[in-house]
Amino acid sequence: MKKTIATLIVGLFATAAFAQTPAPAAAPAATPAAAPEAAAKTEVKTDAKVKTEEHKLHAKEAKEAKAHAKEAKADAKEAKADAKEAKADAKEAKAHADAKLHTDTKVHTDTKAAAKTEVKADAKVAKADVKTDAKTEAKEAAPAKK
């Protein structure tokens, strides 16, 4: 076994020492080899252009989504201010009703309680309406998700 391996190694060295240089390749044979490389380069460039277009499209969509989010946030802020205003109006109406009830000394206590309950109910309804409007506006302003 050692002799066989030694013979093979010697043969490799001898082949390398007496090896001839290969003949130059013919010009027509080089042209077909260049064609696949050119096609590969063209394909790579096309892929790069497609990816660039996709990136631009995604960036544009992200920018639009941010704008919609900003609008939704502004709408929510406006709705919150409207709710606060409605609450203040309800509070003022309640105070007005209380003042009116206190000025009338002949009003029965049941009537006072009914008036207060009615004012509270009106305030709750107004507040609920404002919240519903705010949620609806926020949903309409929010971008559609895929």
Which pLDDT tens digits describe the chain residue by residue (146 residues)?
899 999 988 887 777 667 666 666 665 544 555 566 777 778 777 877 888 888 888 888 888 888 888 888 888 888 888 888 888 888 888 888 777 766 655 555 667 777 788 888 888 888 888 888 877 877 777 665 54
Cα–Cα distance between 15 and 19 in angstroms, integer? Answer: 6
The pLDDT of residue 30 is 47
- End-to-end CA, the chain: 70
- The amino acid occupying position 4 is T
pLDDT tens for each residue of 19-32: 666 666 665 544 55
Instruction: Give tens-digit pLDDT for 10-22.
Output: 887 777 667 666 6
Phi, psi at 105, each rounded to 5°: -80, -15
**Contacts of range 116-124, beta carbons closer than 8 Å, 24 or more positions apart:** 119/90, 119/93, 119/94, 120/94, 122/90, 122/93, 123/86, 123/87, 123/90, 123/91, 123/93, 123/94
